[in-house]
Amino acid sequence: MTTDTPTAVPATDLEALKKRQMAAWGSGDYAVIGTTLQLVGEQLAEACDLRFDERVLDVAAGNGNATLAAARRGCRVTSTDYVAGLLDRGAERARAERLDVTFQVADVEALPFEAASFDAVVSTFGVMFAPDHAKSAAEMARVCRPGGRIGLANWTPEGFVGQMFKVLGQHVAPPAGVQPPSRWGVKAHLEELFGDTAAKIEVTSRNFNFRYRSAAHFIEVFRTWYGPVHKAFAALPAEKAEALDRDLTALIERLNIGGDKSMVVPSEYLEIVVTRR
Protein backbone atom coordinates (compact mmCIF):
# COMPACT_ATOMS: atom_id res chain seq x y z
CA MET A 1 0.00 0.00 0.00
CA THR A 2 1.27 3.47 -0.81
CA THR A 3 1.50 6.10 1.93
CA ASP A 4 1.59 9.17 -0.30
CA THR A 5 -0.30 12.26 0.80
CA PRO A 6 -3.94 11.79 -0.26
CA THR A 7 -5.24 13.70 -3.24
CA ALA A 8 -8.16 15.98 -2.41
CA VAL A 9 -11.54 14.95 -3.81
CA PRO A 10 -14.17 17.62 -4.55
CA ALA A 11 -16.68 17.96 -1.70
CA THR A 12 -19.61 17.40 -4.06
CA ASP A 13 -18.13 14.02 -5.08
CA LEU A 14 -17.66 13.04 -1.45
CA GLU A 15 -21.18 14.07 -0.55
CA ALA A 16 -22.58 12.00 -3.41
CA LEU A 17 -20.43 9.07 -2.34
CA LYS A 18 -21.63 9.37 1.25
CA LYS A 19 -25.23 9.22 0.09
CA ARG A 20 -24.46 6.01 -1.78
CA GLN A 21 -22.67 4.64 1.26
CA MET A 22 -25.61 5.46 3.50
CA ALA A 23 -27.86 3.55 1.12
CA ALA A 24 -25.44 0.61 1.11
CA TRP A 25 -25.10 0.42 4.89
CA GLY A 26 -28.84 0.89 5.25
CA SER A 27 -29.51 -2.08 2.97
CA GLY A 28 -29.51 -5.58 4.35
CA ASP A 29 -29.12 -5.60 8.13
CA TYR A 30 -25.57 -4.96 9.32
CA ALA A 31 -26.55 -5.91 12.88
CA VAL A 32 -26.69 -9.57 11.81
CA ILE A 33 -22.98 -9.33 11.04
CA GLY A 34 -22.07 -6.70 13.63
CA THR A 35 -23.15 -8.67 16.68
CA THR A 36 -20.66 -11.43 15.80
CA LEU A 37 -17.83 -8.87 16.17
CA GLN A 38 -18.62 -7.91 19.78
CA LEU A 39 -15.35 -9.38 21.07
CA VAL A 40 -13.44 -6.69 19.18
CA GLY A 41 -15.29 -3.92 21.02
CA GLU A 42 -14.57 -5.53 24.38
CA GLN A 43 -10.87 -5.88 23.61
CA LEU A 44 -10.69 -2.29 22.39
CA ALA A 45 -12.33 -1.00 25.58
CA GLU A 46 -9.65 -2.77 27.60
CA ALA A 47 -6.85 -1.50 25.36
CA CYS A 48 -8.13 2.06 25.90
CA ASP A 49 -8.33 1.42 29.67
CA LEU A 50 -11.79 2.99 29.83
CA ARG A 51 -12.72 4.19 33.32
CA PHE A 52 -16.04 4.53 35.13
CA ASP A 53 -17.76 7.89 34.41
CA GLU A 54 -15.45 8.77 31.53
CA ARG A 55 -17.11 10.50 28.57
CA VAL A 56 -16.84 8.23 25.53
CA LEU A 57 -17.87 8.92 21.93
CA ASP A 58 -18.40 6.01 19.54
CA VAL A 59 -18.22 7.22 15.92
CA ALA A 60 -19.57 5.26 12.94
CA ALA A 61 -20.90 3.03 15.71
CA GLY A 62 -23.05 0.71 13.60
CA ASN A 63 -25.14 -1.43 15.93
CA GLY A 64 -22.99 -0.48 18.91
CA ASN A 65 -20.29 -3.00 19.74
CA ALA A 66 -17.83 -0.43 21.11
CA THR A 67 -20.76 1.52 22.55
CA LEU A 68 -21.92 -1.41 24.65
CA ALA A 69 -18.38 -2.33 25.70
CA ALA A 70 -17.80 1.20 27.02
CA ALA A 71 -21.21 1.38 28.72
CA ARG A 72 -20.59 -1.97 30.44
CA ARG A 73 -17.53 -0.32 32.01
CA GLY A 74 -19.60 2.50 33.47
CA CYS A 75 -18.72 5.13 30.89
CA ARG A 76 -21.06 7.91 29.82
CA VAL A 77 -21.40 6.99 26.16
CA THR A 78 -22.65 8.89 23.13
CA SER A 79 -23.15 6.53 20.19
CA THR A 80 -23.19 8.10 16.70
CA ASP A 81 -23.62 6.99 13.11
CA TYR A 82 -24.97 8.61 9.97
CA VAL A 83 -27.41 5.73 9.44
CA ALA A 84 -30.27 6.11 11.93
CA GLY A 85 -31.45 2.53 11.46
CA LEU A 86 -28.14 1.18 12.76
CA LEU A 87 -28.40 3.34 15.88
CA ASP A 88 -31.89 1.94 16.44
CA ARG A 89 -30.41 -1.56 16.63
CA GLY A 90 -27.76 -0.35 19.07
CA ALA A 91 -30.45 1.26 21.21
CA GLU A 92 -32.37 -2.04 21.32
CA ARG A 93 -29.27 -3.78 22.64
CA ALA A 94 -28.61 -1.08 25.24
CA ARG A 95 -32.20 -1.25 26.52
CA ALA A 96 -31.98 -5.03 26.81
CA GLU A 97 -28.95 -4.65 29.12
CA ARG A 98 -30.39 -1.66 31.03
CA LEU A 99 -27.47 0.51 29.87
CA ASP A 100 -27.86 4.30 29.80
CA VAL A 101 -26.51 5.42 26.41
CA THR A 102 -27.17 8.53 24.31
CA PHE A 103 -27.76 7.82 20.61
CA GLN A 104 -27.37 10.61 18.06
CA VAL A 105 -27.22 10.73 14.27
CA ALA A 106 -23.90 12.34 13.32
CA ASP A 107 -21.32 12.24 10.56
CA VAL A 108 -17.75 11.57 11.74
CA GLU A 109 -16.50 14.11 9.20
CA ALA A 110 -18.49 16.91 10.91
CA LEU A 111 -19.09 15.97 14.54
CA PRO A 112 -21.60 18.26 16.33
CA PHE A 113 -19.60 18.45 19.57
CA GLU A 114 -17.35 21.00 21.21
CA ALA A 115 -13.59 20.56 21.19
CA ALA A 116 -12.18 18.33 23.95
CA SER A 117 -15.69 17.11 24.89
CA PHE A 118 -14.70 13.46 25.41
CA ASP A 119 -12.14 11.47 27.37
CA ALA A 120 -12.09 8.80 24.67
CA VAL A 121 -13.27 8.46 21.08
CA VAL A 122 -13.65 4.93 19.69
CA SER A 123 -14.66 3.14 16.51
CA THR A 124 -14.67 -0.53 15.51
CA PHE A 125 -14.62 -1.13 11.75
CA GLY A 126 -16.57 2.10 11.29
CA VAL A 127 -14.62 5.29 10.70
CA MET A 128 -12.38 3.44 8.24
CA PHE A 129 -15.27 3.54 5.72
CA ALA A 130 -15.67 7.35 5.83
CA PRO A 131 -14.60 8.81 2.46
CA ASP A 132 -12.41 11.66 3.79
CA HIS A 133 -9.77 10.04 5.97
CA ALA A 134 -8.00 13.25 6.98
CA LYS A 135 -11.18 15.07 7.96
CA SER A 136 -12.42 12.09 9.98
CA ALA A 137 -9.16 11.81 11.90
CA ALA A 138 -9.08 15.56 12.52
CA GLU A 139 -12.63 15.53 13.89
CA MET A 140 -11.92 12.63 16.25
CA ALA A 141 -8.81 14.41 17.51
CA ARG A 142 -10.68 17.70 17.90
CA VAL A 143 -13.38 16.34 20.19
CA CYS A 144 -10.94 14.27 22.28
CA ARG A 145 -9.40 16.07 25.25
CA PRO A 146 -5.62 16.43 25.62
CA GLY A 147 -4.35 13.25 27.24
CA GLY A 148 -7.44 11.35 26.11
CA ARG A 149 -7.48 8.28 23.88
CA ILE A 150 -8.67 7.54 20.38
CA GLY A 151 -9.26 3.79 20.06
CA LEU A 152 -9.78 2.10 16.70
CA ALA A 153 -10.14 -1.37 15.23
CA ASN A 154 -9.42 -1.37 11.49
CA TRP A 155 -9.15 -4.21 8.98
CA THR A 156 -5.74 -4.45 7.28
CA PRO A 157 -5.22 -4.65 3.50
CA GLU A 158 -3.55 -8.05 3.83
CA GLY A 159 -6.21 -9.64 6.07
CA PHE A 160 -9.27 -11.55 4.91
CA VAL A 161 -11.68 -8.59 4.92
CA GLY A 162 -9.13 -6.38 3.13
CA GLN A 163 -8.73 -9.09 0.49
CA MET A 164 -12.50 -9.54 0.26
CA PHE A 165 -12.88 -5.86 -0.60
CA LYS A 166 -10.19 -6.21 -3.25
CA VAL A 167 -12.19 -9.04 -4.80
CA LEU A 168 -15.34 -6.90 -4.73
CA GLY A 169 -13.38 -4.08 -6.40
CA GLN A 170 -12.39 -6.40 -9.25
CA HIS A 171 -16.08 -6.94 -10.05
CA VAL A 172 -17.61 -3.57 -9.10
CA ALA A 173 -15.27 -0.62 -9.60
CA PRO A 174 -14.62 1.36 -6.40
CA PRO A 175 -15.22 5.14 -6.51
CA ALA A 176 -12.43 7.00 -8.29
CA GLY A 177 -10.12 9.24 -6.30
CA VAL A 178 -11.10 7.90 -2.87
CA GLN A 179 -8.66 6.08 -0.63
CA PRO A 180 -9.47 2.45 0.19
CA PRO A 181 -10.88 1.89 3.70
CA SER A 182 -8.13 -0.64 4.42
CA ARG A 183 -5.49 2.12 4.52
CA TRP A 184 -6.75 2.72 8.06
CA GLY A 185 -5.14 -0.65 8.75
CA VAL A 186 -1.67 0.63 7.79
CA LYS A 187 0.42 2.09 10.62
CA ALA A 188 2.17 4.65 8.41
CA HIS A 189 -1.18 5.98 7.24
CA LEU A 190 -2.38 6.36 10.82
CA GLU A 191 0.77 8.31 11.64
CA GLU A 192 0.04 10.63 8.70
CA LEU A 193 -3.58 11.08 9.70
CA PHE A 194 -3.01 11.92 13.37
CA GLY A 195 0.39 13.58 13.00
CA ASP A 196 1.08 16.30 15.55
CA THR A 197 -2.21 15.66 17.40
CA ALA A 198 -0.83 12.36 18.70
CA ALA A 199 1.52 12.12 21.66
CA LYS A 200 1.72 8.37 21.09
CA ILE A 201 0.27 5.78 18.72
CA GLU A 202 0.19 2.17 19.93
CA VAL A 203 -0.65 -0.49 17.34
CA THR A 204 -1.36 -4.16 18.00
CA SER A 205 -2.04 -6.71 15.26
CA ARG A 206 -4.95 -9.01 16.11
CA ASN A 207 -7.07 -11.59 14.33
CA PHE A 208 -10.83 -12.01 14.37
CA ASN A 209 -12.05 -15.47 13.37
CA PHE A 210 -15.06 -15.57 11.07
CA ARG A 211 -16.95 -18.78 11.88
CA TYR A 212 -19.56 -20.12 9.44
CA ARG A 213 -20.68 -23.52 8.19
CA SER A 214 -18.93 -23.13 4.84
CA ALA A 215 -17.84 -20.61 2.22
CA ALA A 216 -21.32 -20.84 0.69
CA HIS A 217 -22.93 -20.09 4.07
CA PHE A 218 -20.67 -17.05 4.61
CA ILE A 219 -21.45 -15.65 1.16
CA GLU A 220 -25.18 -16.24 1.62
CA VAL A 221 -25.18 -14.35 4.93
CA PHE A 222 -23.02 -11.48 3.68
CA ARG A 223 -24.82 -10.99 0.36
CA THR A 224 -28.12 -10.89 2.26
CA TRP A 225 -27.22 -8.72 5.25
CA TYR A 226 -23.84 -6.93 4.78
CA GLY A 227 -24.44 -3.70 2.87
CA PRO A 228 -21.30 -3.53 0.64
CA VAL A 229 -21.52 -7.19 -0.39
CA HIS A 230 -25.30 -6.97 -0.78
CA LYS A 231 -24.99 -3.94 -3.08
CA ALA A 232 -22.16 -5.50 -5.10
CA PHE A 233 -24.18 -8.61 -5.92
CA ALA A 234 -27.29 -6.52 -6.62
CA ALA A 235 -25.34 -4.39 -9.12
CA LEU A 236 -24.22 -7.36 -11.21
CA PRO A 237 -26.12 -9.41 -13.80
CA ALA A 238 -26.49 -13.08 -12.99
CA GLU A 239 -23.42 -14.30 -14.91
CA LYS A 240 -21.10 -11.74 -13.31
CA ALA A 241 -22.63 -12.33 -9.88
CA GLU A 242 -21.74 -16.01 -10.30
CA ALA A 243 -18.15 -15.01 -11.11
CA LEU A 244 -18.00 -12.90 -7.94
CA ASP A 245 -19.37 -15.84 -5.95
CA ARG A 246 -16.63 -18.09 -7.38
CA ASP A 247 -13.86 -15.62 -6.55
CA LEU A 248 -15.10 -15.11 -2.98
CA THR A 249 -15.39 -18.88 -2.55
CA ALA A 250 -11.81 -19.35 -3.76
CA LEU A 251 -10.55 -16.69 -1.32
CA ILE A 252 -12.37 -18.25 1.62
CA GLU A 253 -11.28 -21.78 0.80
CA ARG A 254 -7.65 -20.63 0.51
CA LEU A 255 -7.73 -19.01 3.96
CA ASN A 256 -10.00 -21.48 5.76
CA ILE A 257 -8.35 -23.24 8.71
CA GLY A 258 -11.55 -25.01 9.80
CA GLY A 259 -11.18 -28.14 7.69
CA ASP A 260 -13.61 -29.66 5.21
CA LYS A 261 -16.68 -29.53 7.45
CA SER A 262 -16.55 -25.95 8.75
CA MET A 263 -15.30 -22.46 7.96
CA VAL A 264 -12.91 -20.65 10.30
CA VAL A 265 -11.15 -17.78 8.56
CA PRO A 266 -8.86 -15.47 10.56
CA SER A 267 -8.98 -11.82 9.50
CA GLU A 268 -6.19 -9.51 10.61
CA TYR A 269 -7.03 -6.10 12.03
CA LEU A 270 -5.10 -3.39 13.83
CA GLU A 271 -6.08 -2.39 17.35
CA ILE A 272 -4.96 1.23 17.69
CA VAL A 273 -4.76 3.50 20.70
CA VAL A 274 -3.81 7.11 19.97
CA THR A 275 -2.99 9.23 23.00
CA ARG A 276 -4.07 12.81 22.31
CA ARG A 277 -1.36 15.42 22.67
Give the SS3 label for residue 83.
coil
Q: Mean pLDDT over all residues of the chain?
A: 94
Indicate the pLDDT class of residue 27, thresholds 50, 70 and 90: confident
45 Cβ partners below 8 Å, 6+ apart?
Answer: 66, 69, 70, 72, 73, 122, 151
Interval 83-109: pLDDT, tens:
999 999 999 999 999 999 999 999 999
Q: Higher-confidence residue: 21 or 64? A: 64
Query: Mean pLDDT across the stretch 20-41?
Result: 88
Interval 250-259: pLDDT, tens:
999 999 999 9
- Give the separation between CA 84 and CA 96, rounded to whole angstroms: 19
pLDDT at 138 over 60: yes
Burial 194-211 (b: 16+ CB within 10 A, else e): beebbeebebeebebebe
pLDDT given at position 15: 80
Superfamily the domain 11-157+176-210+267-276 falls into:
Vaccinia Virus protein VP39 (3.40.50.150)
Query: Mean pLDDT across the stretch 128-138?
Result: 96
pLDDT given at position 9: 43
Interval 67-79: pLDDT, tens:
999 999 999 999 9
Indicate the pLDDT class of residue 29, thresholds 50, 70 and 90: confident
Indicate the pLDDT class of residue 207, thresholds 50, 70 and 90: very high
Query: Mean pLDDT across the stretch 120-134?
Result: 97
pLDDT given at position 2: 38
Alpha carbon of 30 to those of 38, 50, 225, 249, 259: distances in Å?
13, 26, 6, 21, 27
| Selection from 272, 277, 144 nearest residue 199 by Cα | 277
pLDDT at 6 over 70: no
Q: Are 160 and 255 in contact (CB under 8 A)?
A: yes
pLDDT given at position 7: 42
Give the SS3 label for residue 2.
coil
Q: Where are the domains of the chain?
A: 11-157+176-210+267-276
